[in-house]
Structure 1
Amino acid sequence: MGNVIEGAALAEALAAVKAYARIEGASEDAVLGVMTASAAALCEAFTGQWLVARDGSETMAGEAGWRRLSATPVNAILGVVDRDGEALPTGDYEIDIDAAGDGWVRVTNGVKTVRITFRAGIAATWTEVPEALRQGIVRLAAHLYAARDTGDGQGPPAAVTALWRPWRRMPFGRCA
């Protein structure tokens, strides 16, 4: 699956972190890049949603009932293959993406294991990620940078959770 944020998206996010933290020059870019990517990964884990759209895959049992993909929001289901990598004929499976962005697959031919490839993410680019999510990532990355050597045990700023909470989706079938 790779990093949750890379390439142009990471460069734009890194620039936002540097501006927020008032850091000039490129001497800290490597460590800030890692912290920015970590903050984006934590955002995705907290919200239960992929941020910048990217391709992914998931292996699941080929059962006759509908099975939900773990990534969300799903933009497209690109293919369904068997364990040998052979594409299943279109009539041997069904796919659906519901209004909430959940991707669903149902195998109808008795194949035991399938791999589904898909594209998922809230936005196509970093600048299209909702402002509250971007601001939380920037604040968290700056916090991680500032606290990197202190070991003081302080958690992330409460503002980060406040910014992300409205976007939080709980995992399917789980209450909290």
Structure 2
Amino acid sequence: MMLVEVTAPATEALPVAGLRDHLRLGTGFGMAEDAAETAALAGFLRAAIATIEARTGKVLLARQFRLRLAAWRDPEGQPLPLAPVEAVERVEIADAAGAVTVVDPAGYRLVPDMQRPVLEPAGTFLPAVPLGGFAAITFRAGFGAAWPQVPADLAQAVLLLAARYHEDRSFEGSAGALPFGVSALIERWRSVRVLGGRGDPRGRA
């Protein structure tokens, strides 16, 4: 399985002003200084968002992803590794020679779920993946395109973590355990991982 982030959140969608207020930083020191500070704060926010998303399996700001699979986990329903999923935009099947066929959207449907969304066939099975080929699912996931659409506890966790990154410019200690306040805020959003076994793709035993 290979998951690729096709698009990234626009800088304008990041809560730079909110982080600046949280840190009680001033403005108006000059265009160059303000631009450099904005870029630095945006970088801390992107790092914090990536960490929170990795820990929860939830996409905060909506964007496009592409999942490539050598075979379906279950031809009766393929779990998607992120949530919430807004839409499945494209499903492709490639053969061993690299020839790609776009699957008719009438042949599948998205079953939304906050823990484990699933791509299900409209009929009995998803289309077969040829030996040596692959299936690719392009989908859009996220709570919304604007920061106010992100749940309040996850948004606060991002600000707290970005502030920690700002204070610890070397990022020492940042790659390990999260600060307790951040962990508490994201706890209810953490996904139960079910992809390792052969149970139902919707999480049933």
Q: If the length of structure 2 is used for normalisation, what is the TM-score?
A: 0.72
Amino acid of the structure 1 residue aligned with 2:160: R
- Counterpart-to-counterpart distance in 1, 2:163 and 2:120: 40
Q: Does 1:172 align with 2:194?
A: yes
Tell me which residue corresponds to 2:180: 158
Shift in alpha-carbon separation, 1:57–1:47, aligned structure 2, 3 A: same
- 1:18 positional shift: 0.7
Q: How does 1:90-105 map onto structure 2 within 5 Å?
A: 90=105, 93-100=107-114, 102-105=117-120
Maintained 8 Å contact 1:54/1:121: yes
- 1:141 positional shift: 0.6
- 1:134 positional shift: 0.8
Q: How does 1:21-32 map onto structure 2 within 5 Å?
A: 21-25=23-27, 26=34, 27-32=36-41
Shift in alpha-carbon separation, 1:109–1:4, aligned structure 2, 3 A: closer
- 1:121 positional shift: 1.0
**Count of aligned positions:** 171
Shift in alpha-carbon separation, 1:90–1:17, aligned structure 2, 3 A: closer
Shift in alpha-carbon separation, 1:43–1:4, aligned structure 2, 3 A: farther
- 1:104 positional shift: 1.7
- 1:23 positional shift: 1.3
Structure 1, gaps ≥5 residues long:
none
Q: How does 1:87-166 map onto structure 2 within 5 Å?
A: 87-90=102-105, 93-100=107-114, 102-106=117-121, 108-112=126-130, 113-149=134-170, 151=172, 153=173, 156-166=178-188
Q: Percent identity?
A: 27
Tell me which residue corresponds to 2:203: none
Maintained 8 Å contact 2:85/2:139: yes
Shift in alpha-carbon separation, 1:124–1:90, aligned structure 2, 3 A: closer
- Counterpart-to-counterpart distance in 1, 2:54 and 2:64: 17
- Counterpart-to-counterpart distance in 1, 2:168 and 2:82: 31
**For the aligned residues, what is the CA RMSD?**
2.6
Tell me which residue corresponds to 1:7: 11
Shift in alpha-carbon separation, 1:163–1:23, aligned structure 2, 3 A: same
Maintained 8 Å contact 1:51/1:129: yes
Structure 2, gaps ≥5 residues long:
28-33, 198-205
Maintained 8 Å contact 2:59/2:143: yes
1:63-87, CA deviations, whole angstroms, 9 ceiling, x for partnerless residues? 4332111121111111111223431
- 1:115 positional shift: 0.9
- Counterpart-to-counterpart distance in 1, 2:169 and 2:12: 25
Tell me which residue corresponds to 2:202: none
- 1:145 positional shift: 0.6
